[in-house]
Each structure stands twice: as C-alpha cells, then as structure tokens.
Structure 1
Amino acid sequence: MNLVIGVDIGTGSTKAVLTTTDGTVLAVARRDHAPSLPRPGWAEMDAERDWWGDVAKVLNELTSTHPGDRIAAVCVSGLGPCVVQTDEQLHPRRPAILYGVDSRATVEIDEITAQLGADEILQRCGKDLSSQAIGPKLVWLRREAGEAWRPQDRWFSAHTYVVARLTGEWVLDHHTASQCDPFYDIHTQGWATDWVEQVLPGLALPRLVWPSEQVGVVNADAASATGLAEGTPVVAGTVDAWAEAFSVGVRRPGDLMLMYGSTMFFVQVLTTPTSVRGLWTTSGVERSTHTLAAGMATSGTITTWLQDLTGGVPFETLVSEAAAVPAGSEGLVMLPYFSGERTPIYDPLARGVIAGLTLRHGRGHLLRAAYEGIACGVRQIVESFEEAAGRPARIVAVGGGTQGGLWTQIVSDVSGLVQQVPAETIGASYGDALLAAIGVGLVPPETDWARLDHTIQPDPSTASVYASLFQTYGELYPATRSQVHRLARSVESSGDVADVEHGAVG
C-alpha cells in the first residue's frame, strides 16, 4: 500500500497527517509553538527550531509507527508568506519574519510604491504593497544586514525552508512567489526581473515550481533527522491557507474558502486574474490558475487573549456564556484590530476598540462581541469580493474555529452567508497529502478528497439587529482612527518598549 505524508507549519503548531491514496487518515502528529513578538508590529519565529525542528519531530513520530520506506511522497505547506535569510549551509542569519502580521517594513513599502508607482504595482502584481508583501521585508533585511548580506545568501518562506532541509533544493512555488510583491508578475506568472534589479540589484531568486511538482528527494542528513527513507520524493507545497483550500475542494471558479484560525483568511478561485485595490490576486495551487484573497490580522488570537485575561477560565465556559448573550451583545461593539489590520483597511497602526461597555457587561459579552466584530469584518471583505469577482458560488468554512458552532453561526447571521463545513477538518496538512499523491502520480490531478458534513444557514431573526450593528461597526473605525493612531505611535516611541537584541538562531 502506498502512503503519503502531508505536513503543515502553522502559526501555533506544526501538524502532520499520514494517509492512503484514497484520503483515509492513518495517523496524525502535532507539535505546538508560538511566534515571538519582540516589538510592536514585529512577529518572528525561529526557523531552525520552530520550522525544521518541529517538522523533524512530527515526521519521526509518524515514521516510528509506519516505516519510512513505506512512504511514497511527502509535501509541506506553511504559514506565509514569510522570509528567513540563510547562508549556503541553510543556517538562518536571524529570526524569520512572518507574514502580514509583521508590519515592520512600512517605510520600505512607501519607498517602493513611490519608486515603481502604486497603479503599476497593482496592475502587474495584482495587489497594493502591504505588510503581507515579501519585497519590502527583503529590502528591510538587506538594510539591516548591510555588508553582511552576501550574494550567496538565500531566502525562504516557511515550507520552502523545510523543503531545502529535506532535499537541498532552493525552490519557491508560484503561489508563494506571487506574494513576493513587487517581484512577481501575475500575468506572465514569472519573476519580474526588471523590478527586482531596480529594487534589490543582484538579489538571487529561487527556481519557480507549481505546488504539486516533485522538486527533489530526501537526502541522507534529512533521512537521519526525520525517519524518512533516503530518496523519498518531496513535493513543493505552498502557503497553508491555499493548501487548506485545496484540501476541501475549493478549486472551481467561484469557490470561496473562509478559514477560521488565529487569523481569518479568504481564498476565492478566479476565472481570470484581476487587480482590485484592497484585495490580493495571486497565482493559485493548480497550474496556471489564479485566486483572490484577503486576510484579517487577528481573529482566533483574540479569544485566546480573552481567555488569558479572564484567568484561564475553560474555553467551553466562555463559549457557553457568549451563547447566552443576545445578538448584538447588549450594545457592545468590538473592532478586532488587535495587531493592526490587513484587509479591508490595511492599517498597521489600527488597534482594538471596544465601544459601549457598561458595568453589566461580562466576559461572555466580550467573547460574543469579539465574534460579532470578526463577523462584521468578514462581511466587509466578502462584499468586496462580490464587487471584484461576482457573488461566490459556494462558501466552504474550515479551520479550528468551525468546531463548536457559535462562531460560524454568528458569521452566517451577520453576513447572510450560507457556509458548508467539510467532514475532514485536519486542514492544510490533508491538502498537502493530496498534493504529494498527485505530485508523484499516485492519483490523477483532478482527484478530490473533500466530503461535506453540514451546512450553516443564517438565522433570519437576527437580521435587523445585525444590520444595525454592521452600520455601527463600519462607522467606528474612521471615527476613532486618529486617536488610535496617536496612541499606537505613543507606544512605539516610548522608552518602555523593549529593544530586543537578535543574535544567532538555532
């Protein structure tokens, strides 16, 4: 029997799944980790420990029960787009910089936009430069490194760093490359080498591949570290949200995935590439395809913050209390911008706002208001998708936040969306396993393992309450923006903010 392994490096954990070629799950493994937040607007991880180290551990766990020589292929996805700079021996020179939650490169975003032109970047790259883009972070890294940046240095996202450790190959899949703005042209689906030379002359570029392509085989060192057999085929993989969309069958034009996790993420398959200010057009998972995407900066992380704030009360208790609160949280509205915000406002200085607090509000009100605030953000983004590409034909809800039902029900109630929830909720690693099977020819490219579990319908009795709440939500950010920016800048300039020194990692 041929077996395949999919591995996903997430923001909060690394997960791996071992499956047969018909999608039957035989074993799973997990290791938890967390990003470092050393300064306001910074989010980092230790690539050696948190990416490669955790992947090696979960692979060892799976191969200890199913010998490595029975594994036909492995594929890795990861949080992203991220960037870590390494030497030729793949030793990271500093902590890895995370995706859009890290907003350190704001100066570089402004400089590159002025250099190349905002409209030109939007048309060629499919989106405005933002904290999600890798190009400005590479410029930031080059400036920080100065003379220490060597021509032979390489740069990776999370999953491509692990692919390099497994195989020695330096590759980047087309989807991840399409988030390396302004260095990738979504129309030609290749590197924009002229802009690379204008912005970062001499920058070395990895070989471009599609997520389902085999890119190499497990080398001797990686075999020793992971338990995989030397020579095991390795498939390229991609960013976790796109691997998860692939896992639940979001592959046809009009399909939209809502991913409930640490952040809220959106991926919709397009018929043709488009350029819409405020949204991200990218290359897709399958060859020559495109997707429209968006992401909120903080979602599930707010619930963790609230649980910690209330003394570690069991999460089930918090959810039960929130479910008992009526729609509208009895006059409470929350802007979920606790780490700035990506879509739809693209404001790294945005911050969380809780409006309407009274002495009668409790922790259940706060959790419900958090869910309702996130749901209002979802509605704003989906309405933007409708304007750009038409109303989604099908919406699939995925991620850990789909468990329990309250959060997803509130999103349907606030937005009016019907959501399908799949039977298999393992996530991106399940999509990786399918990509691995496709990549080595064990199953046809059109194979789909997705199965529907249930559908969430909006509750019409809440419609008028949520229409009013949504209006208030939309008015609250512009009404408080200048004050919130002033507060954010006061923290950034305060001498009380820790200035963390970064040494070698590993």
Structure 2
Amino acid sequence: MGLYIGLDIGTTSTKAFLYDEKGSIRGGSQAAYPLLVPEAGRAEQRPEALLDAVCDAIAGAMHDAGAAKGEISAVGISAAMHSLMAVDGKGNPLTPLITWADNRSIRQANELRRGAEGERLYRATGTPIHPMSPLTKLLWLRSREPKLFEQAAKFISFKEYLLHKLFGRYALDVSIASATGMLDLNTLTWNQSTLQLTSLAPERLGEIVPITERFEGMDRMLAERMGLHPDTPWIAGASDGALANVGVGALERGETAVTIGTSGAVRSFAKHPVTDVEGRTFCYAFEPERWLIGGPTNNGGIALRWYLEQFVIDKEEGETGDLKEKEALDRIVQLADSVPPGSEGLLFLPYLSGERAPYWNADARGTYFGATLHHGRAHFGRATMEGVLFAVRTVADALETLGGESQTLWASGGFAKSEIWTQMLADLSGTRVVVPDTYEASAFGAAAVAMKADGAISDYQDLKAGIEILRTHEPDLQRFYTYEHYYSLFKRVYKQLEPVFPEIAKLQRGTGVKHEDESGDDVLFPSPEESNES
C-alpha cells in the first residue's frame, strides 16, 4: 500500500500529513508564516515564505512518518481561496500575495454591488461581490497601479505559483478558479463579462484543470528539499473549504459541514450549480455532480478570543495575569454553561471584523444588546458564544433555502473541541450535531482526492466508513424554542443597525482603527505571531 500526502496551505500555516489508503495518519508536520498587515485593510503574504513552508512541512511530515521517497503514491493540494498576485514573464512576483482578507478593493466591490452588473456576475459565477474576491482586487489594481497592471504577464493564485515552481505550469483547479468570481458556472471557463470588465485576455490568467489533474516531472531541487522522488505525482486538489467537507464526510444532501476555527463556514454539496435569489451564498465548482454551496462568516473563535483577551485575562493582576489562554477558555466556557439559553436577555452581534455571508457587509460591527446591571462576566461569555452561532445559523438558513433542510450538522474546527459549544449549536439550530474524529479535515480531503485520482478509491464514500464519530448531540427542544425567540430578535437588531454601520465604520477608518477579517484556519486561537487575522 502506498502513502498519500495531504497538503493544506492555509492563511497562517501550511500543514502536511501522510495517510495510508485507509485514511490512517502515518505522520505530519506544519510550518507557520505571518500575515502582513502594514496598514488598515491591507493583508498580504510573501509567496516565497509560503513556498518555503510547503517544502518544510512536507519534509517534516516525511521525517515524522519515517517514510522513504518511493513510498509516496501522490500529493494532493488544499489551498485557501481568493489569493491574487502579479508575476512577470519569468514567473517572478511583481506584488506580494494579496489574501482574501485584504479589503482595499471595498470601493470597487460596493460599486459593483450597487449596479445590475453585480447581480448578473453573481448569477454567472456563483461568487458574491465582496473585497475578498480576486475580481474586485483586479479592478483595484488596475485603478491604483495601472503601469504594473499592464506590465504583469499573469495574475495568479498561490496554487498556480506553486505548481509553476514545481512543474512549470500556471494551473489552478476549478474549485479555486470558481472562487475568483471570474469562472463561468455553465462553461467552467473564464467568464467573458469579467474578462471585459478587467480588460484581461484569458492568457493572462491561469490554466483551469479538474481537481484530479495529475502533474509529473517535479523540479529536482525542490523535490530534494521535500524529501520526495522527482517522479512523485501531484494532484491539483481543491479549495480548503470543499476539501473540509470531504474530510469530515459531509458528502450528500442533508449533510452540512459547520466549521468554526478563527472564522467560520457552513457548506454542503449539491448535484448541480445553485445560486441564491438574494445573493447570500456562494456556489463553487468541484466535480460534475458535486457543487459546493454555502457561506463564510468572518467571526468565529476570534470573537471569543477577543472577549477573553479584553475582559477575562488581566495580565497586570495576580492570578488572572498568570492564567494561560487554554485555562481562560475552559473557565469562561464553564461559566457560560451556568447561564440559561439566551444569556438572560443579552445578545451579541459578533461582527467585529465586518461580515461576509449572508449579508456581505464589510461595514458591520460588533454589538452587545440588552445589557443591564444584572449581567456579569458569565452572561457576556455565553452571549459571545451564542452570537457566533446565531451568525452561523443565518448562513445555514440561507443554505437550506437552496439545498433543503439539513438533517445533520458535521462539526469541525477548534469549536468542536468543546462539548458545551457543540451542544449549544444543536440546541440553537434544532438539528443533530455530529463531531467526527477527523484530524485536519482539509488535508485529509486533499489526500482523498489524490487517492481517487490515483485509483486507490472509487469515491470519497469509500473512506467515510473509516471516520470515527467522537460524539453526537441531539437538540433539547425546550432550549430550541427559547432560542427561536432570541434568534428572531438577533436578526431584527442587525436590520435595525444596518443603516448606521457605515457611519461608525467611516469614523473608525478616520481614526486609523484596523478591522482585518479573520482567517479560516481550523484552530480556535492561533498564536499572536500567526494571527492578525484574515
């Protein structure tokens, strides 16, 4: 039996894991890098740093597993979506890697959203108009850096940069291409309207390939750095979101993946492309009968981390000053569990970093609503946790209008480590929650695609039976009915505040306050060195 490497290139680190054909982990490693945020709204990375991290993570995983070069059957790639960089004719970077967290194209996004063209583009591409999108980033670059825009040979994602370094091909899979806002859902080619809008010829973008595309003939120096044989094939793979669904086994209708790491996402597969009449959700290509539909939310575990750092961990005072973050998390979760559902009338809108789905409102801001003298630390802690889940539910509700009601929610990410928080999700949503024992879901999904491309499995269902279930939560119906009242109020409070969010956001920008979005890595609290966040 051969071994397969699942490579997961995230916002703050790259992880590599070796799996056998049954999906068991043989070894793994990761390498971190910073997200560069030199000014408000700007979020970039050095592509060379990510390339080094890929090499280091794979080399570390090979060493950890004690694997020989000839044992690796294939490498599958998972990568974060929405990155963009310009390169010259020799493949040298002309810009840093602009990440999805970069908000400098907010004006271009707002202009598109206000016009009929934005709605048409969403229908055609399945990608909501938002500053995260490479489409709006290209419009911003053309406006702000016209000379560079004209001189650039190509505009690519990090996956294309990596595959060009390894194999001399600027290739990107349909999953990553679909998240650019420029892939036509019907033809799976670059959409003509977006090409005209950006003034780009297709040759200045990457080569679109299936997720099972095979690459061979690796650069020998890079192969040596990674400890791989140069003949080791690589498989294109897909986006981290789609592969997380594969990794947890959320493959069929009615199976919805809820991932809450630093940020969050709700995703499921559909058999055909589906867009939302209100533009609340994305629709990304994956395979002919598997299309990823769902939505990301900016504020997951980062909201609870913010609460802990600002209001629980006091580094200047005695006991709490020495309190470790994990202990602080356990303490506030236990305190929160002592408060009844609804936090006795305290609501939290968790939009500390603006919001993507379902509102796509970069100006949204965080709000505690209903606070009285009665409310203490435990109430605010529970309200923060509930607010994150209310935001997740707004995405799940939008998704259900497209793909039918979810019978099961598959939980992953840092929040899934907390039984209290996952039970809260079951109660708040009124849906069974399953927590699978899938370590690093996106990496496992990448390895699964490599196995399928290599013929080791016929479908991802072949691996699902081997995924162990850690626990299952059934909803408490009495709590669910309570939450229904608070959830209705949560949505109404947002709608009431929506008209004034732009005004407070403008005032904050005028004072230099930074509001970067958070990354979607599957960690609850990344270290300060790793997190700005996305």
The two structures have a TM-score, normalised by structure 1, of 0.90
Residue 503 of structure 1 corresponds to which residue in structure 2?
Answer: none
* 1:469-480 correspondence runs (5 A): 469-480=486-497
With over 3 angstroms needed to count, the CA separation of the structure-2 counterparts of 1:76 and 1:217, relative to structure 1, is farther
Partner in structure 2 of residue 84 of structure 1: 85
1:218 pairs with 2:218: yes
Distance 1:307 1:168, change over 3 A: farther
Q: 1:271 Cα shift?
A: 2.7
Cα deviation for residue 185 of structure 1 reads 1.0
Which residue is 2:298 aligned to? 297
Alignment partners' CA distance in 2, 1:497 and 1:187: 39
Counterparts of 2:144 and 2:185, CA distance in 1: 29
Counterpart AA for 2:95: R
- CA positional deviation for 1:26: 0.5
Q: In structure 1, what is the Cα distance between the partners aligned to 2:450 and 2:346? A: 47
1:55 matched to 2:54? The reply is yes
Q: Map 1:357-368; keep pairs closer than 5 Å.
A: 357-359=371-373, 361-368=375-382
Q: Is the contact between residue 429 and residue 480 of structure 2 (CA under 8 Å) also seen in structure 1?
A: no
Look up the match of 1:179: 179
- Quote the offset at 1:25 in angstroms: 0.8
Change (3 A) 1:447 1:478: closer
Superposed displacement of residue 348, structure 1: 0.5
Unpaired stretches in structure 2, ≥5 consecutive residues: 314-323, 516-534
Residues 1:496 and 1:123: Cα distance change in structure 2 (over 3 Å): closer
CA distance in 2, matches of 1:116, 1:463: 39
Distance 1:304 1:206 in 2: 38
Distance across 2 between alignment mates of 1:445 and 1:388: 25
Matched, 1:457 2:506: no
1:131 aligns with 2:145: no
In the alignment, the residues of structure 2 paired with residue 358 and residue 473 of structure 1 have an alpha-carbon distance, to the nearest angstrom, of: 17
Structure 1 residue aligned with 2:510:
493
1:393-443 alpha-carbon deviations (Å, 9 max, x no partner): 443222222112122211111111212222223210011111112222333
Query: Do the aligned partners of 1:378 and 1:415 also contact (CA within 8 Å) in 2?
Result: no
- Displacement of 1:452 in angstroms is 4.5
TM norm structure 2: 0.86
**Cα distance change of structure 1 residues 161 and 399 upon mapping to structure 2, 3 Å threshold:** farther
CA contact (8 A) 1:3 1:20 kept: yes
CA root-mean-square deviation:
2.5
Distance in 2 between residues matched to 1:492 and 1:387, nearest whole Å:
36
AA aligned to 1:59 is I
Quick check: 2:336–2:382 contact (8 Å CA) kept in 1? Answer: yes
CA apart distance, 1:268? 1.5
Alignment match, 2:190: 191
Q: Which moved more, 1:22-31 or 1:187-196?
A: 187-196
Contact preservation (8 Å) 2:138, 2:198: no
Comparing 21-30 and 197-206, the one that deviates more: 197-206
Give aligned pairs, total: 495
Deviation string 1:169-199 (CA, Å, 9 cap, x unpaired) is: 2111111211221x21112222213530343
Question: Is residue 332 from structure 1 mapped to residue 346 from structure 2 by the alignment?
Answer: yes
CA distance in 2, matches of 1:436, 1:206: 21
1:6-155 → structure 2 map (5 Å cutoff): 6-49=6-49, 51-64=50-63, 65-99=66-100, 101-112=101-112, 117-150=117-150, 153-155=153-155
Asked if 2 retains the 8 angstrom alpha-carbon contact of 1:22 and 1:449, the reply is yes
Is 1:323 the equivalent of 2:337? yes
1:228–1:486 Cα change, 3 Å: same
Q: Percent identity between the aligned chains?
A: 25
Preserved CA contact (<8 Å) 1:295 1:343: yes
Check conservation: 1:418, 1:457, Cα contact below 8 A.
yes
Unaligned ranges ≥5, structure 1:
499-506
User: Which of the numbers 417, 438, 442 marks the counterpart of 1:428?
Assistant: 442
